[in-house]
Amino acid sequence: MTMYWEREIETLPRPELEALQLSRLRQTVQQALRSPYYAALYRQLGLSLNAIGSLSDIGKLPLTTKQDLRDSFPYGLLAIGKSDVIRLHSSSGTTGNPTVVFHNQHDIDSWSSLMARSLYAAGVRPSDVFQNICGYGLFTGGLGFQYGAERLGCLTIPAGAGNSQRQIKLMRDFGTNAVHAIPSYLHRLAEVMAQEGFDPHKTTELRIFIVGAEPHSEEQRQRIEAAFGVKAYNSYGLSEMNGPGVAFECTRQNGLHVWEDAFLVEIIHPETLEPVAEGEIGELVMSTLDRQAMPLLRFRTGDLTRILPGTCPCGRTHRRLDRITGRSDDMFIVKGCNIFPMQIEGVLMK
């Protein structure tokens, strides 16, 4: 059985992967400078493409925040002509301007490939029936998974969110093998199945759950797996970096491979903004490496995580992120130690 969807890129030796990242970073900076926001900012700071001679030079570039995106709403970060844009996704924006991300055809193709690669890494195969239990529309989880599962070749059911009875009927009628849903919904679905008298172990052909879009613990994952007798794989993404398909667990379930041909990862201290020591927890900062319509450089995700040491036995060379342990706004410092609420919660749970 083949293990990889895009073998060459997924197993690229680190030196070649980093060379690819550098050339794509330079292209991205060049592209970003076509947007009004980055053009004005870099002119003001006296920065140009010449600043980037190596990957570590990324630290010379300013960080980009969610607020910067809001302030340049709607078109300030657009780096191509409007006529070449084919899609936008947007956050709800209940307070102030929403953030919006634009894509051209290249961006949608690239994102769909990343999604197909991610699903394959979690064990989904073209012969599977894939049920996408999440909201469609502006939210990225709907169309993101839809395009990826279709690209992989799955019979893809755009089930949408909610209505558990109908979800269960779809699963049984079409023999669903893989499901994407948020973890809190899967707890609910297990309850409904129990109420309706279905034993998911016997009455469905479910094999794989893709769970993500919200924080959840290893214990929660195990509860979901036990309730359904199904393997659950963690999926991480955020709308500013397309949505899902940023980092995904492979079948080894030992951290989330972040697709480093498409994203450049940094982990910084949320207060000093300096890189943390290797393997330490800090705020995840990401740059797009393969996006044309709206490249983002050094975007502060606000998510706390670390890069896991060592390599994965699956053979993929893209590094793995640890489960998200919280938000950088939640971190507090006691006697010089960084404390994260999720760590305390973990201890209390035990």
Instruction: Let me know: does 316 contact 120? Beta carbons within 8 Å.
Output: no
- x/- binding map, residues 248-287, to Zn ion, per CB under 5 A? --x-x-----------------------------------
Binding flag, residue 290, ligand ADP (CB under 6 A): no
* Sign of the dihedral defined by the CA atoms of residues 79, 81, 84, 89, in that order: positive
Minimal distance, residue 92 CB to ligand ADP, in Å:
6
303 binds, among Zn ion, ligand ADP, none (CB under 5 to 8 A by kind): ligand ADP
Shortest Å, Cβ 238 to ligand ADP: 4
Between 23 and 311, CB nearer to Zn ion: 311
Q: Is 312 in the site for Zn ion (CB under 5 A)?
A: yes
Q: Of these, 5, 42, 102, 236, which contacts ligand ADP (CB under 6 A)?
A: 236
Residue 242 binding result from ligand ADP, Zn ion, none, given CB thresholds of 5 to 8 Å by partner type: none
Determine, following the binding rule CB under 5 A, whether residue 314 of this chain makes contact with Zn ion. yes
Sign of CA dihedral 171, 176, 182, 188: positive
Chain position carrying tokens 């342990």: 325
Binding status of residue 213 toward ligand ADP by CB under 6 A: yes
For 145, phi then psi, to 5°, come to -70, -35
Nearer to ligand ADP, 138 or 155 (CB): 138
Q: Evaluate whether 141 touches 211 at the Cβ level (below 8 Å).
A: no
Contact region with ligand ADP (CB under 6 A), list: 17-25, 100-108, 119-127, 211-219:
211-219
Cα separation, 208 vs 130, in Å, equals 9
When asked if residue 91 is in the footprint of ligand ADP (CB under 6 A), the reply is yes
176 lies in the binding site for ligand ADP (CB under 6 A) = no
* Shortest distance (Å) from residue 312 CB to Zn ion: 3
CB of 179 to Zn ion, least distance (A): 21
**Contact between 146 and ligand ADP (CB under 6 A)?**
no
Residue 63 C-alpha from the chain's centroid:
19
From ligand ADP, Zn ion, none, interface partner of 250 (C-beta below 5 to 8 A by class): Zn ion
**Among the listed residues 254, 232, 269, the one whose alpha carbon sits nearest the alpha carbon of residue 319:** 254
Q: Which among ligand ADP, Zn ion, none contacts residue 312 (Cβ within 5 to 8 A by kind)? A: Zn ion
- What residues numbered 291-350 form the site for ligand ADP, per CB under 6 A? 301, 303, 324
Give yes or no for residue 245 binding ligand ADP (CB under 6 A).
Answer: no
Question: With binding defined as CB under 6 A, does residue 235 bind ligand ADP?
Answer: yes
Please return the burial class of 169, using the count of CB atoms within 10 Å of its CB with bins 0-12, 13-18 and 19+: exposed
Q: What's the min distance (Å) between Cβ of 246 and ligand ADP?
A: 8
Q: Does 239 bind ligand ADP (CB under 6 A)?
A: yes
Angle at 229 (CA atoms; ends 228, 230), nearest 5 degrees: 85
Comparing CA positions, the residue from 234, 222, 278 lying closest to residue 258 is 234
Q: What count of other Cβ atoms lies within 10 Å of the Cβ of residue 13?
A: 9
- How would you label 246-263 residue by residue, b for 16+ Cβ within 10 Å and e otherwise? bbbbbeeeebbbbbbbbb
User: Which residue in 263, 266, 27, 241 sits closest to 140, CA to CA?
Assistant: 241
Closest CA to 99 of 296, 315, 316: 296
Give how many residues touch ligand ADP by CB under 6 A. Answer: 16
What string of DSSP letters covers 311-344?
--TT---S-EEPPP-EEGGG-EEETTEEE-HHHH
Binding site for Zn ion (CB under 5 A): 250, 252, 312, 314, 316
Binding site for ligand ADP (CB under 6 A): 91-92, 140, 212-215, 234-239, 301, 303, 324
